[in-house]
Amino acid sequence: MFFTYPPIDDEILSVLKNREEFVVVGHVSPDGDCISSQMAMKALLLKMGKRVHLANAGPFDRSEITHLRADFLNHIDEELHQRNPIVVVVDCSARERLGHLGDEIEGLTTVIFDHHSSGEQFGNYRYIVPRSVSTTLIIMHLYKTLEIEITEEIAEHLFFGFATDSGFFRFINAYRGETLRMAAELVDLGVSPNMMNTKMTGGKNLSYVKYLGKLIDRSEAHFEGKVMSSISYLTDSEAYITSDKPSDALYSMLLSIKGVEVVLFFKQLSEDATEVGFRASHQSHIDVGSLAESFGGGGHKKAAGATVQQPIEVVRKNLLKAVEDLI
C-alpha cells in the first residue's frame, strides 16, 4: 500500500556516468514541473562534470518561467547533433509533446525520466514512475541514488516542480507520506513554501485577471454538467495580455463546480492548430491521459495535454464526441 520509488536501472546510471555531453529536453508549453526538472537535471549533470545544454521548443508563456527563456536552446543544430550527445527527456514520454525537437533528436541515444504513463513509447532507456507526484521528485530520487549533494538552489527547483504538479499539496492522496517527507527534506535545505506559493500565484497583472474572467465567461457545460469547456482565440491577444497562461486557475475554478468530472480548455494556436488542456476530478473515472493520447498527446489520468493540427472548432467537436462516449 505504501509507495517507494523503484531502483533506477544500472544501464541508465552507466549512461549518465560514462558519457560526457548531454542535452536536457522538456515538453512544449512547459510548466513548472517541466522547467524545474530540466534545471535540476542540468545541475546534477554539471556536478558530475558533464557538458550540458538545455532545450525546449516553448513557448515560455507562464509568468513564473518567462525569465528563464534565454537559458534554453530552441533548436538542436547539426553541429551539436553530430557530436552525438545523450538526450535526457524529462517530464515527457511522448515524442510528439517535444514539438520540433522530437524530430531533431532523431538518431540520438535518449533517456526518459517522467511520471506520465500515456503517450507513444520512445527512448532507449526509460524510468517512468506514474505514481510520483512530480518529475522533480523523480530527479530528487536520482540525486539520492547517485549520492550527489542537493544545494538550496537545487532544492528550490525540486520543490517548485512538486508544488506546481501537486496543486500545492492539494492533489496528494492517502498513504503518500513519502512525498511529504521528501518535501520536508527540501524545506530543511532552505526552501520556503510561503515564497514558493507566492512565486506560483503572485506577480499577475490586471489584464491576466480580466483574461481569466473572459475564459470563465465563455465556459460551457456539457452532458448534464459533467464536462466544462472554454476557448481561447487568437483575437484575445488584441484585448488582453495572453502571454501568461491562466489555465491552472481556470481548471481549478471549473473543477470546483458541483458535478464536474472533466474540464477541457481549447487554445487556438493558428487557423489550423489547436492546443488542448485536459483535467479530471479525483472522483472521475475518465482517464484524460489516454484521451489525450488518442489525439496525439499524453499525460496523467487526471491531467494531460495535446496539440492537434486542425482548426479549433473541428478539434472541439471531435473531442466532445470522444468525451461523450466515455461519460
**Residue whose entry in the numeric block shows the C-alpha cell 511522448:** 94
Q: What is the pTM of this model?
A: 0.84
| pLDDT for position 326 | 93
For residue 201, name the pLDDT band (cuts at 50, 70, 90): confident
For residue 94, name the pLDDT band (cuts at 50, 70, 90): confident
- Residue 122's closest CA among 267, 279, 293? 293
| pLDDT for position 118 | 64
For residue range 69-93, what is the model confidence (pLDDT) as tens digits? 899 999 999 999 999 999 999 999 8
For residue range 95-124, what is the model confidence (pLDDT) as tens digits? 888 999 999 999 999 999 999 876 567 899
| pLDDT for position 203 | 75
Give the residue, 1 or 283, on which the prediction is more confident. Answer: 283
| pLDDT for position 268 | 96
Mean pLDDT (the chain) is 93
State the average pLDDT over residues 47-62: 94
| pLDDT for position 202 | 77
For residue range 39-52, what is the model confidence (pLDDT) as tens digits? 999 999 999 999 99
The contacts of residue 11 (CB under 8 Å, 6+ apart) are 125
- Residue 116's closest CA among 258, 288, 326, 318? 288
Q: What CA–CA distance (Å, rounded) separates 123 from 92?
A: 11
pLDDT for residue 204 is more than 90: no
Q: What share of the chain has pLDDT > 70, as a percent?
A: 99
| pLDDT for position 314 | 98
| pLDDT for position 149 | 98
| pLDDT for position 324 | 94
Do the beta carbons of residue 262 and residue 281 sit within 8 Å?
yes
For residue 1, name the pLDDT band (cuts at 50, 70, 90): low
Q: What CA–CA distance (Å, rounded) separates 77 from 84?
A: 11
Delineate the domains of the chain, giving CATH numbers in brackets. 10-198 (3.90.1640.10), 206-326 (3.10.310.30)
| pLDDT for position 115 | 93
pLDDT for residue 61 is more than 90: no
State the average pLDDT over residues 146-151: 98
| pLDDT for position 120 | 63
For residue range 167-196, what is the model confidence (pLDDT) as tens digits? 899 888 889 999 999 999 999 999 999 999
State the average pLDDT over residues 222-235: 97
| pLDDT for position 119 | 59
